[in-house]
Structure 1
């Protein structure tokens, strides 16, 4: 794997802010993570289609797109151009035409002001649900990671997608639980050495690409599942790997299911995406040595059935919009959106939909209304100005009385210096707040902001103490 230089990519590093809570660009300015999920972008779209997709997302304020290099399609599956990812199915021998095409899409995104969040490989290539090892091992992962880091320096990266380092035999657990009786004791395999090898390879590759810097650390995380095993770490990046210096971004997947799980495999509730965000934020506060920006990097996709099952309703724009506001106000450094047919780029007659949603054409789901509504979260946060951007803190304690439950919860954030408060209500029902955190609460200027971006109404109110 020879040295490969892409200087265009080097000018766009995104790093944690000085307090570790937010993201900033190379000039120290606030960077709001407004991401779209496009797992199979490099694999299923041709260049013209990719340009159409990225233009749409840029016009809607997206700053990040998540895409996979070595995709879930498999090591023997060629991309739209007919190129395989590796030579001879060897992950230590990348096939140049395959990755050159990825280069072209990364550069196209860069031209439109979008950072690609590179997912080097899908999680199944570390292990599958039955705990069988994949092609990424402690030795091959390091070599592959170095290739990714050296070729794509400064791009944010999430190591692997949709898997956790600590795993039992999920297939056997589910089968034994369904059969009833006392489940046996399962062997736990900790796959974190493979994650470590991939991460250290990426870091070494990036440092080689930027003249052997010994201080640079990329924005790096993992993409956990929304599930975990009873007795094991929660499905949070920091719960598994919180002591790793290479983990510079904390992430979760609140997922797509809104009903109680069946033990012994718990999962996050999609109507409570703010819950894992709060837990990650609190963990950083308790462990001052490892404060990281936090993200819900896979909430429910618009136009996906609950739990991906057509026996249930699908998530609409209101659902995904509500979850995004709540997560950001709970401390997230941004949001991640997904449209079900877009994240898989289903194309009728060419790439069949996986059946997890009512749509089967990515061009149709590209225009779903939720995608255009995500920008208003970013604009509301950025509207306070750069001076206070890095002072924002969760402020659930200022809600007086019953804040509501699940996705009906009223959620608040504020400036820690006391200049402003913002409150999101998904229902429009009356609520009360404690304003004593404001520097002056004698004469408060208040305004209503429509989360659909339609209008703003300013009102003056007089408040005394509370």
Structure 2
């Protein structure tokens, strides 16, 4: 199957039908997972309804330790990469892992250049002195695209990048140009640094940039960016689908060595707020232990950069409850035909945390904390259902008029909810 962009530029499609992009973050699979582990992982995520896997083609600089010794390039005597010599065995194995995923119905979303391979980015200190030479980018990307083209992947040209210099931008432009020259029908985007919302014009105006991917990230001070950045990209021109490609991962610690971890509720809130604020084409989940493919007893302990506490073993992280929350989101969006839902500025409560969106037939609200919701909207024309997102209970809700506006009364649940209205 091939994922494409709709003619109106707002959603993904597969064989002409709306495709809700539900990805899992598994950056380090190629270097850290055995084929047996990979099969177990794929079967579990398939059961949950995930349909995209975000993976790094090259080694992730902050992957967990591993007993496997798979490297994409030949190693020099000092342990650094010889970028002139690709390791065919590494790519044979990666190709097999992609094949296993595609056979189960997943679309691979492959990162070509994580920021530590590119000079001048924020991650420069973590691979200082062993950057990929610019002249190697085109042959490497050419090789990777030809290797994986049979599987119709999505390409994330950059990984976690800022755009600090013309030199860094040339790396990403070369990679994007190469992808589109070799495989013009491939869908491509940039995975950008957390909280970033400005993309250089050379990419904004590039016909090969097919959708906007942002990350609201893992900083505890900026979780409101999940909806703020979605709004920003939704209102940009040209119109493209918007994806929060890295909301806070479940059970990852707050970045910058701040004490605390994100719960399933935090991850769920980030997803719903992203989706209803303009990112209605889909969303990405992450579990702290899956993205770095961590095994109990292995090294993690990265204190530089984002500064995260230890991950869970990958098998424990695979079964975090929050993945089921994201699975349920896809179920709701498919059942109510909400893919690409448009944000609505109709909530009169003095908060941006309550989000609303709709289409011709349906209106949907996310309410993280129980309260009476006042709307500048003819809600009485709709039949409403309130869904308890923890226990997934459905309750009838009747809107009424009060002082010239519509009201959705306090519900009877103790948790966050979505309220869905369908026209009578």
- TM-score normalised to structure 1 length: 0.77
CA distance in 1, matches of 2:405, 2:190: 44
CA distance in 2, matches of 1:18, 1:362: 39
CA distance in 1, matches of 2:31, 2:325: 27
Residue 197 of structure 1 aligns with which residue? 174
Residue 427 of structure 1 aligns with which residue? 369
Residue 357 of structure 2 aligns with which residue? 413
Residue 416 of structure 2 aligns with which residue? none
Unaligned runs of 5+ in 1: 1-11, 168-187, 207-215, 228-233, 260-268
CA distance in 2, matches of 1:124, 1:443: 53
Count of matched residue positions in the alignment of Structure 1 and Structure 2: 387
Residue 186 of structure 2 aligns with which residue? 218
Residue 78 of structure 2 aligns with which residue? none
CA distance in 2, matches of 1:46, 1:235: 36
SS in 2 for 1:382: helix
* Closer/same/farther in 2, CA of residues 308 and 110 from structure 1, 3 Å limit: farther
Residue 367 of structure 1 aligns with which residue? 319
Residue 124 of structure 1 aligns with which residue? 116
Say if 2:162 is the partner of 1:164.
yes
CA distance in 2, matches of 1:104, 1:305: 33
Among 248, 251, 255, the residue aligned to 1:303: 251
Q: CA deviation at 1:272?
A: 3.0
Say if 2:72 is the partner of 1:85.
yes
CA distance in 2, matches of 1:428, 1:110: 41
Q: CA deviation at 1:443?
A: 4.5
Do the aligned partners of 1:236 and 1:280 also contact (CA within 8 Å) in 2?
no
* Closer/same/farther in 2, CA of residues 87 and 254 from structure 1, 3 Å limit: same
Cα deviations by residue, 1:14-43 (Å, 9 ceiling, x for unpaired): 121111111111x11111111111110111
Residue 98 of structure 2 aligns with which residue? 106
Say if 2:343 is the partner of 1:394.
yes
Among 277, 286, 293, the residue aligned to 1:338: 286
* Closer/same/farther in 2, CA of residues 314 and 117 from structure 1, 3 Å limit: same
Do the aligned partners of 1:142 and 1:202 also contact (CA within 8 Å) in 2?
no
Among 46, 55, 72, the residue aligned to 1:58: 46
CA distance in 2, matches of 1:40, 1:353: 16
Q: CA deviation at 1:190?
A: 4.3
Q: CA deviation at 1:389?
A: 4.1
Residue 385 of structure 2 aligns with which residue? 447
Among 319, 326, 330, the residue aligned to 2:266: 319
SS in 1 for 2:190: strand
Say if 2:187 is the partner of 1:245.
no
Unaligned runs of 5+ in 2: 76-80, 407-424
Q: CA RMSD in A?
A: 2.6
- TM-score normalised to structure 2 length: 0.84
